[in-house]
Amino acid sequence: MVKMTRTSLADQRELIYFDHDGSPARAMVDPRSLPTVSSSSQLRWDPLLEEWVMMASHRQSRTFLPPANECPLCPSREGHQSEVPADDYDVVVFENRFPSLSTHADAGPLESDNPLIPIRPGFGRCEVVCFSSNHDASFADLTVQDADLVIEAWAQRTTELSQLEGVEQVFCFESRGREIGVTLSHPHGQIYAYPFLTPRTERMRAAVRRHRERTGEDLHATLLKAELEAQVRVISETPHWVAFVPGAARWPVEVHVYPRRRVRTLAELDAAERADLAGVYLDLLRRFDHLYDAPLPYIAAWHQGGVKDPEELDYLHLQLFSIRRTADKLKYLAGSESGMGAFVTDALPEAIAQRLRDA
């Protein structure tokens, strides 16, 4: 059983404890004096790419690589009051202090000096998910039971955030490693509730729609079936999940994880699928960390369907990837990739799949 307890921080941001049944009661009062959280985020429309860009200049002042004894995600203790009032926790979720999107953003359009570039308030919500109270841990260090608690938190937040009027898609993700750009080393991830459908999802939907019109089949399911038949890029499979390196992988190390049954979001997984997921995910993260002598920096991105999917085009899947291309080299986006969005991959997906199977 999962025990969920809600409270508010000193600046009225919401905080939710997710605890195992039997965990002790948590501190609820935040004694700090905090300034009001900025609600100045904007959305600006790019007419050439036809997508929204988030503008959040207040994030320039966000916390950057503090020493461990000043970590804002560790439990509070005497002499250090953190973002979490309790002296311990299992999993905790709270509104980001430096959000890219805010439910307090002013309503209505903002004045623009170019009619082709409309400006909207940056409505939405950004949350932080702390996976463990242990500052030196990583997600891969969690037990299956603890990982399952994180998955339950993702699912609950997906359900609740999807009900906010104006939210179009919920994105759960983790970025690990300074090389990725992480500014807090404590094991944590984030959740974005967007007021628009993200560009990647829009593009995937268009491809799935065209494939269905041509063949009558679901493109995601067809890709999954082909990978299972070929087997050369499959890393692992269970009764409910399949992990494989995509045949056109863009990143030096990249794995996609699909449920065998088509669902749109983490919240739609049944009990057996959720229970199976924790073991699959932990296995993959540990394989990543055994590729080289040091843990891999990575991004774990849960591609969930939009809040509205009338054509039933979306299919939940995880994209787990790293920018490390050798033990001592990173992949930087060069001219073709940064300027034109045309990727060049340095390693064949089949070779990466074999290395991950051997790890």
DSSP β-bridge partners for residue 14: 8
Bridge partners, residue 259, by sequence: 241
- pLDDT tens-digit readout, 98-117: 999 999 987 678 999 999 99
- The pTM of the full predicted model, rounded to 2 decimals, is 0.97
pLDDT attached to residue 13: 98
Low-confidence ranges of the chain (pLDDT < 50): none
- List, as one string, the DSSP characters of 261-302: S--SSGGG--HHHHHHHHHHHHHHHHHHHTSSSSPPPEEEEE
What structural domains does the chain harbor? 2-196 (3.30.428.10), 200-358 (3.30.428.10)
Q: Residue holding tokens 């807090």?
A: 184
Mind listing the pLDDT tens digit for each residue in 22-65? 999 999 999 999 999 988 899 999 999 999 999 999 898 889 99
Neighbours of 252 (CB within 10 A): 20
**Residue 94: Cβ-neighbour burial (10 angstroms; 0-12, 13-18, 19+):** buried
Residue written as tokens 């291309």? 325
The pLDDT value recorded for residue 109 is 83
CA 82, CA 208: separation in Å to the nearest integer? Answer: 45
Please report the pLDDT score of residue 128 as a whole number: 98
Question: Any alpha helices (H) in the chain, and if so which ranges?
Answer: 144-162, 199-215, 219-230, 271-289, 335-340, 349-358
> Which pLDDT value is given to residue 354?
98
- Residue positions annotated with a catalytic role: 188
State both tokens at 42: 């904007």
What local confidence, expressed as pLDDT, does residue 1 receive?
84
- Are the beta carbons of 233 and 125 closer than 8 angstroms? no
| Counts for the chain of helices (H) and strands (E), in that order | 6, 16
For residue 15, which of 75, 101, 93, 72 has the smallest C-alpha distance?
Answer: 93
